[in-house]
Amino acid sequence: MEPINPDNVCHVPVLEREVAEWLKPSKPGTVFVDCTIGYGGHSAALARYFDAQDFLIGIDRDAEAIAYCRERFKEVPFRVSLHHRGYEELEAILKEEKVAAADRYLIDCGFSSPQIDRAERGFSFSRDAVIDMRMDRRQELTAKDVIQMWSEKELADLFQRYGEERFSRRIAKAIVRRRKEAPIETTRELADVVIQAIPARYQHQEGIHPATRVFMALRIYVNNELECLRQGIQAALAHLRPHGRIGILTYHSLEHRLCRNLLRDFCVPRRHPPGIPVRGDEEPARGVMLTRKAVRPCAAEQNRNPRSRSAQFRVMERLEDRMD
C-alpha cells in the first residue's frame, strides 16, 4: 500500500460543530465509538472535550484511513483503540474491548474525500482509473466485476434499486452492447457509456453529473452499504447506555429512510404481541429523538463543502430503563 502523504489528505468533516455539540461527553469515563473514523476529523473535534478517563474506539474499513488515524491519535491524552474492520462487526469489536455498552456512537455514512480523490481507488468518473470502488481492498468483489459479468436485467435492477436511476434499462442495455465490442475497464469508459445512454435533454437536469446515480448504485452494492448500516445501527442501539447518544450522518434518500425508520422504531412505544401476559399493552419508548427534524448544513457550509449538500444529521438518546 502506498503511504499517504498527510499534506494531501483533505477531508472536511460535515457539520463538525453540530456533531461535536450533540455528541460531546457529558460525564467522565465516556466511551465514544466512531464507527466510520475516516481521517479522524469528527473524532478530533470531539477529542477537544475528552479527558484522561475517556476512551475512543475508532473503526473503518479503509486501511489507509486507519493507518492515518494511528499517526493522528498517537499521542493524545486519552485511550484510543483503532480497528480496521466494518462497523457491522460492532458487537464483536465491543466484546473484544470488554465494553458492554457505550455512551456515544457516530456513524458518518458513505465515502471520504480521499477515497474519491485518489484516482486508483476507482470510485470517481472525474478521475480515470480501473473501476474498483472497494472501501476495504481485502474484499474480492469490485465494481468492475459487476459491470463485466452481470446480465442486462441484473444491471438495470441494480441501477434502479440503489441509484433510483430512471434510465436504468437504457443504461444497462448500452453497457451490455458496449461490452460485446470491448470490456469496460475504467471509470471514464463507464461514465461515457452512461452519458450516451441518457437522452440529451435529461443529462444535466438535477445539477449532478449524469453518471452519478449509476456510480452510487455500484458503490452501495459493492460495499453492501445499506445492510452494513442496518446491522451497525441495530448493534449500536443494543449496546447503548441509558442517556447514551447515537448520531448518524446520511447522504442520500436510501440512507435517510433506513436511519429514520430504525431510530423512530426505537423511540415509539411497542405493542406487545397478543397473548403475552404483561401489564398494560405497550412497552414504553426506549429512546427519544433529540433532533426533531434532521439537521442540515447551512448554505455557507454547502458552498464551502459541496459533499455536505445532501447531508442529514439525526441524534437519538436512550432513555433510562423503566422499572415498573
Ligand X SMILES: C[S@@+](CC[C@H](N)C(=O)[O-])C[C@H]1O[C@@H](n2cnc3c(N)ncnc32)[C@H](O)[C@@H]1O
Could you list the residues that contact ligand X (CB under 6 A)?
11, 13, 36, 38-42, 59-62, 65, 86-88, 108, 110-112, 135, 228
d(CA 218, CA 206): 20
Identify which of 246, 218, 258 has the alpha carbon closest to the alpha carbon of residue 319: 246
Closer residue to ligand X in complex, CB, 193/217: 217
Minimum gap (Å) between residue 279 Cβ and ligand X: 40
Non-local (6+) Cβ contacts of 197 within 8 A are: 167, 170, 171, 173, 174, 175
* Phi, psi angles (nearest 5°) of residue 160: -70, -45
Minimum gap (Å) between residue 3 Cβ and ligand X: 17
Minimum gap (Å) between residue 174 Cβ and ligand X: 29
d(CA 18, CA 1): 34
Minimum gap (Å) between residue 287 Cβ and ligand X: 22
Closer residue to ligand X in complex, CB, 173/309: 309
d(CA 122, CA 131): 5
What H or E segment, with its residue span, contains residue 12?
none
Closer residue to ligand X in complex, CB, 86/210: 86
Minimum gap (Å) between residue 225 Cβ and ligand X: 6
Closer residue to ligand X in complex, CB, 92/268: 92
Non-local (6+) Cβ contacts of 1 within 8 A are: 63, 64, 67
Closer residue to ligand X in complex, CB, 38/163: 38
